Amino acid sequence: MIPIILLALLGICVLVQLYYTLFYFLPLTKYQDPETDVKRPVSVIVAAHNELENLMQLLPALIDQEYPEFEVILVNDRSEDDTEFYTYELERQFPNFRVVTIKRTPEYLNPKKYALALGIRAAKYEHLLFTDADCMPCSNHWIDKMQSGYKNGTEVVLGYSPYAQIKGFLNDLIRFETLLTAIQYLSHANKGHAYMGVGRNLSYTKTCFFKNKGFASHIKTTGGDDDLFVRDAARNSKVSIVISKDSQTASIPKKTFREWVIQKRRHLSVGGQYKAADRRRIGAFVASNILFYILICVLLVLNSHLAILGAIAGFRYLAVFPVYVLAARRLGEKISLPLLLVLDLVYFFYYMILGVSVLMYKKFRWK
């Protein structure tokens, strides 16, 4: 009797995943970016703390963007390296490059959000575009492509920011987690249920920022300058997505498992502040995947109804994984089915353990 109940639960998990796959993820595989001939002036904003080496790569790439009218604002957040001297020279050479310097962050304010808020206040233009110091635009048309999302009253544009590919299983896992997260938030936004974005590639208007009181609702929270702001803005602002390769920024991945775990714990801790409806949607998908693997392990130990177990699991893989592969291709990523089998299993067990650790230990910090 118990194996039958477990098999029924396994089937329900697969049906839940099939619903998300067909209703949310499959439309993303066919999504085409908006097109517009309007070239709005843009303020590109980067906040950096002791990021000189990265800035020496990023800032020239931003300044060289092919776009009619834009400015680049670097918020130098308490840097103790030579960022000030390097950016001083850039200011002298390029009239569309400016620096906002922070010597001290007021007590009880999140440093990164304070830095971004100052950059936004200093911006000359209505349309703002954000990335991080350890990112690189994937093309000289990054600004142009991201601004194409502003059509029909849009105030927030969500982009995709993959991690660079290097050798090693950790990098494969990081890139898969980033891909799966992007498939979720981009497909939900495409369906009118935006709940997060990534600060590595995000755009919104100045009016939208002040209309939603900036970061006020989560100013003391470590993290959330991107996803919690999108959470607030999505309540009364139209959100669109742009996903073509030219619209993306590539980021430098963590090189050790410990660094990645610290980063992901900080990101996961913010999820508890999402709207209840968003938590239910995201939670149902994640829980169905975790429970799927737990039930498979239990049923294998019980050594019961293995043929039915194999049929249910096989159906799940045949129905879900091809859509993952198609979505990855649409985002300019490549992933093989054999590797996908391993990464999917490892990721969801890792997610379960990470979630428990966040509940037990909640101390996080910005640089």
List CB contacts of 54: < 8 A, sequence separation 6 or more.
48, 133, 134, 252
Over 60: is that where the pLDDT of 360 sits? no
For the chain, the straight-line distance linking the first and the last C-alpha, in angstroms and rounded, comes to 54
| Buried-state track 148-178, b at ≥16 Cβ within 10 A, e below 16 | bbbeeebbbbbbbbbbeeeeeebbbbbbbbb
Mean pLDDT of the chain: 92
User: What pairing do the DSSP bridges indicate for beta strands 42-48 and 127-130?
Assistant: parallel
For residue 105, give the 3-state DSSP assignment: coil
Mean pLDDT, residues 96-107 taken together = 94
Nearest C-alpha neighbor of 71 from the set 106, 40, 37: 40
Over 60: is that where the pLDDT of 357 sits? no
Mean pLDDT, residues 314-339 taken together = 94
Taking phi over 0 as left and psi of -120 to 50 as alpha, with beta for the rest, 31 belongs to: beta
Would you tell me how many other CB atoms lie within 10 Å of the CB of residue 93? 8
153-208 per-position pLDDT tens digit: 999 999 999 999 998 999 999 999 999 999 999 999 999 999 999 999 999 999 99
Instruction: Provide the pLDDT for residue 365.
Output: 46
197-249 per-position pLDDT tens digit: 999 999 999 999 999 989 988 877 777 788 899 999 999 999 999 999 999 99
For residue 99, give the 3-state DSSP assignment: strand
Nearest C-alpha neighbor of 14 from the set 341, 280, 318, 348: 318
d(CA 350, CA 56): 35
Q: Is 33-256 a CATH 3.90.550.10 domain?
A: yes
Confidence of residue 362 (pLDDT cuts 50, 70, 90): low
Over 90: is that where the pLDDT of 259 sits? no
Mean pLDDT, residues 282-295 taken together = 94
Task: Specify the DSSP class assigned to residue 125.
Answer: S
For residue 236, give the 3-state DSSP assignment: coil
CB 139 within 8 Å of CB 64: no
d(CA 189, CA 193): 5
Structure tokens at 166: 């290097």
The full set of domain ranges for the chain reads 2-28+276-357, 33-256
Instruction: Provide the pLDDT for residue 222.
Output: 73
List CB contacts of 255: < 8 A, sequence separation 6 or more.
170
Would you tell me how many other CB atoms lie within 10 Å of the CB of residue 58? 23
**Packed helices 306-330 and 276-302: angle between N→C axes, nearest 10 degrees:** 140
Burial of 269 (0-12, 13-18, 19+ CB in 10 A): buried
Question: Quick one: what percent of the chain has pLDDT higher than 70?
Answer: 95
Instruction: Provide the pLDDT for residue 269.
Output: 67
Instruction: Provide the pLDDT for residue 218.
Output: 84
d(CA 13, CA 15): 5
d(CA 280, CA 283): 5
Over 90: is that where the pLDDT of 132 sits? yes
Confidence of residue 356 (pLDDT cuts 50, 70, 90): low
Over 60: is that where the pLDDT of 364 sits? no
Over 50: is that where the pLDDT of 366 sits? no
Confidence of residue 90 (pLDDT cuts 50, 70, 90): very high
For the chain, state the CA radius of gyration. Answer: 21
- Top-confidence residue, 69 or 303: 69
Nearest C-alpha neighbor of 224 from the set 235, 210, 214, 236: 214
Over 70: is that where the pLDDT of 134 sits? yes
